[in-house]
Chain A
Amino acid sequence: QLQLQESGPGLVKPSETLSLTCTVSGGSISSSSYYWGWIRQPPGKGLEWIGSIYYSGSTYYNPSLKSRVTISVDTSKNQFSLKLSSVTAADTAVYYCARQVEQLGPQNFDYWGQGTLVTVSS
């Protein structure tokens, strides 16, 4: 059974960089059938796609966040990571990592991590 687990600091100061890692178990991140994505959800609000990465390193980013986002992959560790720079209180959210099906391009998210709350505060 595929499992994804987010890890990283739960508290980040304003203007600093948020860094999270997603560890994949029960399957290979190097599969050609999937992308790997990050989605966030501010408290009490809806879902927002942040970006996705293929095992080769090819990335797609949300245009509204692109200038601040970097997603990378480490196939040797079966992990992928998110960095979001210059954070503000508006970046406070539960951050989810998820597997995204590849079929003529990234499609739906079929497996999700449990999510991790990141609070931006001094």
Chain B
Amino acid sequence: QSVLTQPPSVSGAPGQRVTISCTGSSSNIGAGYDVHWYQQLPGTAPKLLIYGNSNRPSGVPDRFSGSKSGTSASLAITGLQAEDEADYYCQSYDSSLSGLYVFGTGTKVTVL
């Protein structure tokens, strides 16, 4: 029952581009709060992928990019690779009583 909704799954062939949406509302993304993205490989802890809507931490390939518009945000992966198969979560701040620092529902990326 997260306030940030993501598609359960997306898939693509190696080399393709996939996008993951994160849909919020006027109390979180729409209120101007930043969106951050995490990658969780199977059996491991989440890893910060994008912070402040579109910034990549050192070491994250430029194949990963983030954007935000209105009440939604998106993560794009270009040149999809087998190692990108993982769960991806968006995260933001929510000013209602829904949890303050909220995570999205999560998206499983499958490389075909």
**Closest A-chain residue to B99, C-beta based?**
A62
* A47-B103, A107-B34 known; A96 vs B45 contact (CB < 8 Å): yes
Residues 99-112 of B, flagged 1 when their CB comes within 8 A of A and 0 if not, give: 11111111000000
Task: Report the bound CA distance from A64 to B94 in whole Å.
Answer: 13
Q: Give the residue of A49, A60, A63, A110 whose beta carbon is less than 8 angstroms from that of B103.
A: A49
Known: A49-B103, A52-B101. A112 touches B47 (CB 8 A): yes
- B64 contacts chain A at the CB level, 8 A cutoff: no
Q: Are B45 and A112 in contact (CB under 8 A)?
A: yes
A-B contact count (CB 8 A): 66
Q: How many Å from the CB of B36 to the closest CB on chain A?
A: 4
A49 touches B101 (CB 8 A): yes
Contact mask for chain A residues 80-122; partner B; CB cutoff 8 A; 1 contact, 0 none: 0000000000000000100011000111111011110000000
Contact call A64/B99, Cβ cutoff below 8 A: yes
Q: For B51, list chain A residues within 8 Å (CB).
A: 101, 107-108, 110
Cβ-neighbour of A108 out of B91, B105, B106 (below 8 A): B91
With beta carbons under 8 angstroms apart, the residue of A37, A96, A112 that contacts B101 is: A37
- B99 x A63 contact (CB < 8 A): yes
Chain B residues lying within 8 Å of A105, measured Cβ to Cβ, are 93
- List residues of chain B with CB within 8 A of the CB of A52: 101
* Most central of A64, A105, A107 by chain B CB within 10 Å: A107
Question: Are B105 and A49 touching (Cβ within 8 A)?
Answer: no
A48 at the interface (CB under 8 A from B): yes
Closest Cβ neighbor of A6 among chain B residues: B45
Residues of A within 8 Å of B57, CB to CB, are: 110
Do the beta carbons of B102 and A49 come within 8 Å of each other? yes
CB pair A109 B89 closer than 8 Å: no
Q: Is residue A26 within 8 Å, beta carbon to beta carbon, of the partner chain?
A: no
- Find residues 23-59 in chain B having any chain A CB closer than 8 Å to their own CB: 34, 36, 38, 44-48, 51-52, 57
Given pairs A49-B103, A114-B44, 7 additional interface contacts (CB within 8 A): A46-B106, A62-B101, A64-B99, A107-B52, A108-B51, A108-B91, A110-B51
Binding site for A on B (CB under 8 A): 2, 34, 36, 38, 44-48, 51-52, 57, 89, 91, 93, 97-106
